[in-house]
Amino acid sequence: MKNWMIPLAVAAATLGAGAAWAGDAAKGENIFKRCKSCHAITAHDGTAIVKGGKTGPDLYGIVGRGVAADEAFKYSESLAAAGAAGAVWDEASLAAYVADPGAWLKETLGDSSAKSKMTFKLKKGGEDLAAYLATLTD
């Protein structure tokens, strides 16, 4: 292979790999059915996108929002500490959190005693769920 083709091949492989890792919002919408017993999705204008429980915070606009930023919800001390430290939800962090909330907090805070109120773990599909939630914003 010619030397000038190597960067081109690396770039093409990287772009292809990124697309393979990206979540599928349509699949995520279906996965959210598992979450709605605790979480609702309500637009800022009050429109109910998904009626759900109130055990967890409303997830409308969560991607791009600070961790523990919903003032109407009482978060665990550890999640509140992550928010106070400036953590912001992006698709990758959200996917990691739903896979294992406690482990995510321990890693994010560097605190082996960090705990989450959320006990549910989404074993697979976190990237898809995060991609779906990323579509729900103003």
Could you give all domains of the chain from N- to C-terminal order, each with its CATH number? 23-134 (1.10.760.10)
Tell me the pLDDT of the chain averaged across its residues: 88
pLDDT the model gives residue 65: 97
Q: What is the pTM of this model?
A: 0.83
Mean pLDDT of 2-14: 37
Cα distance between residue 12 and residue 69, in whole Å: 38
- Between helix 101-109 and helix 91-99 the angle, nearest 10°, is 120
pLDDT the model gives residue 22: 81
- Do 130 and 63 form a contact (C-beta atoms < 8 A)? yes
pLDDT the model gives residue 3: 41
pLDDT the model gives residue 105: 98
72-116 pLDDT, tens digit each: 999 999 999 999 999 999 999 999 999 999 999 999 999 999 999
pLDDT surpassing 70 at residue 12: no
What is the percent of the chain where pLDDT is above 90?
83
Cα distance between residue 112 and residue 54, in whole Å: 28
Query: Out of 4-18, 38-52, 119-133, which region has the weakest mean confidence (pLDDT)?
Result: 4-18
Q: What is the DSSP string of 34-85?
A: GTTTT--EE-TTS-EEE---SSS---TT-TTSBTT--TTS---HHHHHHHHT
Cα distance between residue 23 and residue 28, in whole Å: 8
